[in-house]
Structure 1
Amino acid sequence: MIKKEFEKFEYEIIAEDPVDFYQNLKIFEEMVKFAKELGKFPPEDPLEGIEKDIFLAKILNKSKR
């Protein structure tokens, strides 16, 4: 019951506020700029932790079958 009401509320909020691509792009660019200022982007080793990501992807893909 509560979940249905929440989903209805969520749908109404989304319908009232259309997506603004350029605003979202501006936010994304500012986040990348901030990450660069912190020295966190680009990562020193882009493949760091990839084994963990592959492991999780395999588990998630098996559960979809």
Structure 2
Amino acid sequence: MDEEIIRQLNMEVEAMGFNELTELGNRAVSLGLIIGHGYRNNQYEILRKNEVVMLPAKEAAAYLKNLIESVNG
């Protein structure tokens, strides 16, 4: 496979992950579970009322999914 095609595919996969993480973060904010979220220093920062959680993107997505599921049952 051409290196340019591989690079483009990797960028698309990263963008999909970024979009999912943003949607999860926004959902958690709308549910009142967190007060903010975003990338900071190559980590994903999740702001809770009395806590700052810094995680790699995959772990942050799992963390947010668990938070959301905890209230949605």
What TM-score, normalized by structure 2, do the two folds share? 0.32
Structure that is richer in helix per residue? 1
Structure that is richer in strand per residue? 2
What TM-score, normalized by structure 1, do the two folds share? 0.35
